[in-house]
Amino acid sequence: MPDYTSLVPKYDFPTGSIEAQEAALATNPLLQRMVAAREAYAGDRHRPTYHYVNPEAMLNDPNGLCFWQGRWHLFYQAYPPEDTRQHWGHAVSDDLIHWR
């Protein structure tokens, strides 16, 4: 029987305010890896700068754009490098131009 357990490390984050969640994410190893990947691609003149781009790998089927608690939220299918199976990604924006 196949093992469907994700190879991506699982992290628990605090519930409550988005500020508390963002503070917890600041020290998260997975997020730090994505920040490093985004910085590595920063000089690529062919990488889109206006549209949202997945920090590490392919972005597939962006959907679920919604405005909630004063911020825009975008959900998309993601394929992390260590596990080629589909996962879900989430990005947040205050202005639909700058995403985190």
pLDDT digits (tens, 9 = 90+) for 22-75: 888 788 887 788 788 888 888 888 887 778 888 776 778 888 899 999 999 999
Asked whether residue 1 is domain-assigned, the answer is no
Asked whether residue 2 is domain-assigned, the answer is no
| pTM across the whole model | 0.64
Asked whether residue 43 is domain-assigned, the answer is yes
Is 44 considered catalytic here?
Answer: no
Asked whether residue 3 is domain-assigned, the answer is no
Asked whether residue 98 is domain-assigned, the answer is no
Asked whether residue 25 is domain-assigned, the answer is yes
Asked whether residue 86 is domain-assigned, the answer is yes
Q: Give CA angle at 79 (96, 28), nearest 5°.
A: 70
Q: What residue numbers bound the domain in which 28 lies?
A: 18-93
Alpha-carbon torsion (54, 89, 31, 33), positive or negative: negative
- 64, two tokens: 């679920």
Q: How many domains does the chain have?
A: 1
Catalytic residue among 3, 12, 44, 61: 61
